[in-house]
Amino acid sequence: DAGITQSPRYKITETGRQVTLMCHQTWSHSYMFWYRQDLGHGLRLIYYSAAADITDKGEVPDGYVVSRSKTENFPLTLESATRSQTSVYFCASSTDRPLNTEAFFGQGTRLTVV
């Protein structure tokens, strides 16, 4: 399917476990982003990537790791999950830094850490 897809849609994990959220886009967009959405905070940028093998921190990167070996994939890993990382995670992509271009969002992954 064309577009941007996230998997899984829902995930429950235990504190301390490693979990990876997947993001795949079919447009060959250069830029990809990970946001988390929490009540009262809106969306906050975790990490972003300008191209394959180029990643950089966003506003709230602590506790997360990303990689981008291929343009189309941008997985987000929680190395040791904590309850504070319970959130809805959105992946997005755009053709350029979203200075004036649209960012396209996946449907989100709802992660619960128990």
Q: By CB under 8 A, name the binding residues for another protein.
A: 31, 33, 35, 40-45, 48, 50, 56-61, 90, 92, 97-100, 102-103, 105-108
Tokens at 96, concatenated: 């350029």
Among the listed residues 73, 64, 48, the one whose alpha carbon sits nearest the alpha carbon of residue 111: 64
β-pairing, 109-113 vs 10-13, is: parallel
What single letter denotes the amino acid at residue 19? V
To another protein, the closest distance from the beta carbon of 48 in angstroms equals 5
Nearer to another protein by C-beta: 53 or 56?
56
Q: Which is nearer to another protein, 16 or 110 (CB)?
A: 110
